[in-house]
Amino acid sequence: MKYKLIRDISFALLLARWRQTLVAAIGVTFSIAMFIALLSFMGGLNQLLDGLIINRTPHIRLYNEIEPSKNQAVNLFPEYKKYHNFISSVKPKNELLRIHNNSAIIKMLQADPAVAGVAPKVTALVFYNSGAIDLTGNVAGIDVDAENRLFSLKDYITQGNYIDLKNVPNSIILGVGVAKKMMANVGDVIRLTTNTGQQMPLKVVGYFQSGVQDIDNVQSYTSIGTAQKLLAESNNYITDIQIKLKHIEQAPQLARQYQKLFDVDAIDIQTANAQFETGSFIRTLISYAVGVTLLIVAGFGIYNILNMMIYEKMDSIAILKATGFSGRDVNSIFITIALSIGIFGGIVGLLVGFGLAEIIDQIPFNTASLPTIKTYPVSYNPAFYLIGGTFSIITTYFAGFLPSRKASKIDPVVIIRGK
pLDDT value of position 121:
92
- As a whole number of angstroms, the distance between CA 90 and CA 85 comes to 12
The residue that leads in pLDDT, 169 or 401, is 169
pTM greater than 0.75: no
Same domain (yes/no): 187, 292: no
Q: Mark which of 254, 269, 284 sits at the end of a domain.
A: 269
pLDDT above 70 (res 413): no
pLDDT value of position 124:
87
Same domain (yes/no): 48, 77: no
Percent of the chain at pLDDT above 70? Answer: 78
In a domain, 209, yes or no: yes
Residue 49's domain comprises 2-54+276-418
pLDDT value of position 224:
92
pLDDT above 60 (res 329): yes
Task: Identify the weakest region by mean pLDDT among 335-339, 348-352, 386-390.
Answer: 335-339
Contacts of 234 (CB under 8 A, 6+ apart): 228
Q: Mark which of 269, 293, 323 sits at the end of a domain.
A: 269
pLDDT value of position 137:
87
Q: Mark which of 218, 251, 269 sits at the end of a domain.
A: 269
Same domain (yes/no): 26, 72: no
pLDDT value of position 364:
86
Number of domains in the chain: 2
Is 299 in contact with 395 (CB distance < 8 Å)?
yes
pLDDT above 50 (res 54): yes
Q: For the segment 64-122, what is each residue's pLDDT rounded down to a tens digit?
A: 876 666 666 666 677 766 777 666 666 655 556 788 888 899 999 999 999 989 999 99
In a domain, 88, yes or no: no
In a domain, 87, yes or no: no
**b/e string for 75-102 if b means 16 or more Cβ within 10 A?**
eeeeeeeeeeeeeeeeeeeeeebbbeeb
pLDDT above 50 (res 325): yes
Same domain (yes/no): 331, 255: no
- Where does the pLDDT of residue 1 fall: very low under 50, low under 70, confident under 90, or very high at 90 and above? very low
The residue that leads in pLDDT, 17 or 174, is 174
Specify the DSSP element, H or E, that contains 173.
strand 171-175
